[in-house]
Structure 1
Amino acid sequence: MDKEMIRRCTEAMNEGRMSRRKWLQLMLASGLSMSTISAMLANTGVLVGRADAATPLRVFNVPKFTGFVYFELAKAGGEKACKELGAQQIYIGTTTADVEGQVHVLQNIVPQRPDCIVIAALDINAPVPTLKQARRRGAIVVTFDADVAPAGRDLFINMAPFDVQARAMLESALANAPDGGKAIWIAPTPTVANFISQKKAIDDLIAKDPKFKSIQFVDTLYANDDADKSYSIGTSAMQAHPDLKLFISGSGISTPAINKAIQDTDRVGKVFATGFALPSTMKTYLSSGTCKQYALWSPYKYGYMATYFAILLKSGKIKNAEGVAVDVPTIGSRTIEEGSVADLSSMLFFSKGHDDFDTATPMT
């Protein structure tokens, strides 16, 4: 095989028109040495970190639960990263927010010797022993959306620094209720890492920034990322607190569910539910004025970035060290910070007329 044919085959592999296995077979048949082939892989795709270079890296994507559009979008982003880097994504999880179920899923993954696990954790501690076992067997563990204790993962991809998340939620709260007022924080459970950090950042911001001092939290309620439960506790909370003004939540399930409760109980314009949510679940409430503004980032880009980092770490293309910068396609340069954390940092505000990812207003 001449150089031009090698070039064409390599181009076909990079564009997905030829499998990596077929490409490797052709390169070996052409008489190239394994060292030469490895060097070519390092320059054109993923340097696979095991002896069988013909087998793509396997990335197990474990959402909090399947069937929710947020994680389906993140899954699509992960699939894109895998396609670009020559890896294979396996998407697996429970159908409900079940901590024990998620741990069981991970326990079933470990014997398969995964190369990477990209996980949105339901609990900060419960998955850690199994994730530590996976890491001992060579897996790279990257968390996104919700972190685990540092011993259980290599890297956490955060949607944004928690002070930025807090500001996005509080700015949205004042966009709905300019005078502030009594508020209730809605979280899935007491042990979901990002909700713990979000609420702390919100409390810190209220304490130090006079702009937000008018927002006063009177309670924290737990809805387990369940629409029916969110609706129920929202309805009960409005009865228990007649002067309540705001529900604030980082849950993309709780926020629209409580907006529905506000609408169904004729409290539109009196009580507002905001925080984070998906455009597909909130257009009705923006249109009716039930909600005036909420925030989010792109789940597609989020899943893409988490998977992209996982593959690069496993393939040895980047080191997991503070200060390491990575140019992530379509997102930009992102740096690994102290504690092995990198931020997506692509926060968007959604309002009437700016109610999808293409028209949302970037947070400045």
Structure 2
Amino acid sequence: MIRKTLFAAAALAAMAGSAFAASAWTGGDDLPTNPLACDGTAGAAAAKPYDGGEPTGAPDRKGKKITVVDVPKLIGIGYFNATSKGIADAAKELGNVDAKTDGPTQANIDQQITFIDNYITSGVDGILFAANDPVAIAPVLKKALSKGINVVGYDANSQPDARQWFVNQAEFNGIAKAMVDNLAKEIGEEGAFAIVTSTFTTPNQARWIAEMAAYAEKCHPKMKWLETVEAQEDNVLSFNQATTLINKYGDELKGIFGMTSVATPASAEAVTQANKCGTIAVVGLATPNAMKPYVEKDCVKSVVLWNPVDLGYAAMQVLRAVADGDLKPGATSVKAGKLGELQVINGSEILLGAPFVFSKENIGQFDF
């Protein structure tokens, strides 16, 4: 499924002479794309039956204190520090959850699997996770389900049947539209861009890129996609990859998409050090605090994200609702504390909300 040639839609477009050539990216998955309307008309949500997994022989946990471990892609970076804070905030508010965050210091799927497996052995009631690889992580999550452990994902999904629910920070096509529209506004309809991502197999980045390509083909067909490079969620590698792109393409490169909270500030720093602010636009996903220096200096105009504190908070609320039996297959919404009622989409996903664009006008209002 992973590392296939660029999905069929883009391949067909390439044969028709599109700027979105398959050589620009060797990632992807087998899922269809669903680009939103160019004019901003909301997409229709299609009903889909529950496709998540079920724990085997789970005890009655309703109202009882539960122990939960959060195992994100990696620990020690601002983004997952923020989701961890949201999880801790929700646990404190709920009062009957003992939650902790633990995981690898690198975005390594083998290490992540080991952490989860160790917590299954030591004994927990619930597992929260953000997957480094949707397929590779599935067996250990299914093992957790087989032990009666409640399993909820957030940020980066697994195969649906390996967890009960997934809290989606924003729909993939919504992120794609926000990213592409903002870059097109900065570099024009015929500008050339490159992408710095984590890995081609990271599920959320792969899906965003797929939807970005489909949306750009539909609504900004003359934009030119030069290349996509992997940077492993590593700050130094992200900076070096962005610098390589700047040097490789010269004046042709008009924009860089950063697909991670590490790649975006590193790309902005590369543009800054190359004295290309105002010449090469950077649009990406990142936390406001990491981007404030670049936004305040007008080197970056658009940062697309959601509130990761809210994402972690929502994930903890969802797991508590699952443990209590209040969120069951077939539900259309779930109560999530201060966030109110969140909607169920795509069978077994909970939608946090629409993406948010941070700019010079509003970024100072946020601190994470």
Report the TM-score when normalising by structure 1.
0.80
Pairs within 5 Å for 1:216-255: 216-242=224-250, 243-255=252-264
* 1:144-188 Cα shifts (integer Å, max 9, x gaps): 111111232111111111110101111221343244511112221
Amino acid at match of 2:210: K
- Show the counterpart of 2:198: 188
Partners of 1:190 and 1:140 in 2: CA distance: 29
Residue 134 of structure 2 is aligned to residue 124 of structure 1: yes
Shift of 1:101: 1.0
Deviation at 1:235, TM superposition (A): 0.6
Segments of 5+ residues of structure 1 without an aligned counterpart are 1-48, 360-364
Indicate the residue corresponding to 1:297 in structure 2. Answer: 306
Question: Cα offset for 1:196?
Answer: 1.3
Contact 1:181 1:216 in 2 (8 A): yes
Query: Which structure would you say has the larger Rg?
Result: 1
Comparing 311-320 with 130-139, greater Cα deviation is found at 311-320
Q: Which residue of 1 aligns with 2:50?
A: none
Distance 1:51 1:282, change over 3 A: closer
Q: Deviations over 1:56-114 (max 9, x none)?
A: 11111111111112111111111122123211102111112122111111111111232
Q: Deviations for 1:262-309, whole angstroms, at most 9, x for unmatched residues?
A: 111111111122121111111111111211111111111000001110
* Deviation larger for 301-310 or 212-221: 212-221
Q: Which amino acid aligns with 2:309?
A: Y
Give 1:40's aligned residue.
Answer: none
Please tell me whether the aligned partners of residues 76 and 105 of structure 2 are also in contact (alpha carbons under 8 angstroms). Answer: yes
Q: 2-side partners of 1:219 and 1:116: how far apart? A: 40
SS at match of 2:272: helix
Aligned mates of 1:125, 1:249 — CA distance in 2: 24
Following the alignment from structure 1 to structure 2, what is the Cα–Cα distance between the partners of residues 167 and 139? Answer: 37
Partner of 1:326: 334
Pick the aligned partner of 2:217 from 207, 214, 233: 207
Residue 162 of structure 1 aligns with an amino acid whose one-letter code is F
- Cα distance in 2, alignment partners of residues 171 and 52 from structure 1: 46
In structure 1, which of residues 197, 201, 209 is the aligned counterpart of residue 207 of structure 2? 197
For residues 178-204 of structure 1, what are the alpha-carbon distances to aligned partners after superposition, in whole Å with 9 as ceiling and x for unaligned? 445111122211111111110111111
The alpha-carbon deviation at position 346 of structure 1 amounts to: 4.1
Cα gap change, 1:299 to 1:115, in 2 (>3 Å): same
Change (3 A) 1:357 1:214: farther
- The letter of the residue matching 2:74 is F
8 Å contact from structure 1 (residues 94, 102) kept in 2: yes
Runs of 4+ in structure 1 displaced over 4 angstroms?
51-55
Structure 2 Cα separation of the partners of residues 327 and 341 of structure 1: 14
After superposition, where does 1:139-218 map in structure 2 within 5 Å? 139-209=149-219, 212-218=220-226
Contact 1:173 1:275 in 2 (8 A): no
Task: Pick one of 338, 342, 354 that aligns with 2:350.
Answer: 342
Give the Cα separation in 2 of the matches to 1:356 and 1:167. Answer: 24
> Please, which of 278, 282, 286 is the counterpart of residue 295 of structure 2?
286
CA contact (8 A) 1:175 1:292 kept: no
Q: For residue 34 of structure 1, what is the aligned residue in structure 2?
A: none
Q: What is aligned with 2:68?
A: 59
**CA offset digits 1:338-357 (Å, max 9, x no partner):** 33111111421111131145
Contact conserved, 2:257 with 2:282, CA < 8 A, in 1?
yes
Residue 349 of structure 1 aligns to a residue whose secondary structure is: strand
SS at match of 1:241: helix
Residues 288 and 303, structure 2, Cα contact 8 Å, conserved in 1:
no
Structure 2 equivalent of residue 23 of structure 1: none
Judge conservation of contact 2:196–2:241 (CA < 8 Å) in 1: no
Which amino acid in the other structure matches residue 275 of structure 2? Answer: D
Can you give the 5+ residue segments of structure 2 that lack an aligned partner in the other structure?
Answer: 1-57
The question of whether the paired residues in 2 share the 8 Å contact of 1:183 and 1:244 is answered with: yes
The residue that corresponds to 2:275 in the other structure is 266
Tell me: CA distance 1:283–1:106, structure 2 relative to 1, closer, same or farther (3 Å). same
Confirm or deny: 8 A CA contact 2:62 2:325 kept in the other structure.
no
Q: 2-side partners of 1:303 and 1:151: how far apart?
A: 21
Q: Go from structure 1 to structure 2 and tell me whether the alpha carbon gap of 1:358 and 1:226 turns closer, same or farther (over 3 Å shift).
A: closer
Between the aligned partners of 1:51 and 1:139, the Cα distance in structure 2 is 11
Distance 1:354 1:272 in 2: 19
**Cα distance in structure 2, aligned partners of 1:238 and 1:329:** 45
State the AA in 2 paired with 1:128: A
Aligned-pair distance for 1:215?
2.5
CA RMSD, 1 decimal:
2.0
* Aligned residue-pair number: 309
Distance between the aligned counterparts of 2:153 and 2:61, measured in 1?
27
Aligned pair in 2 of structure 1 residues 305, 357: CA closer, same or farther (>3 Å)?
farther
Paired amino acid for 1:182: A
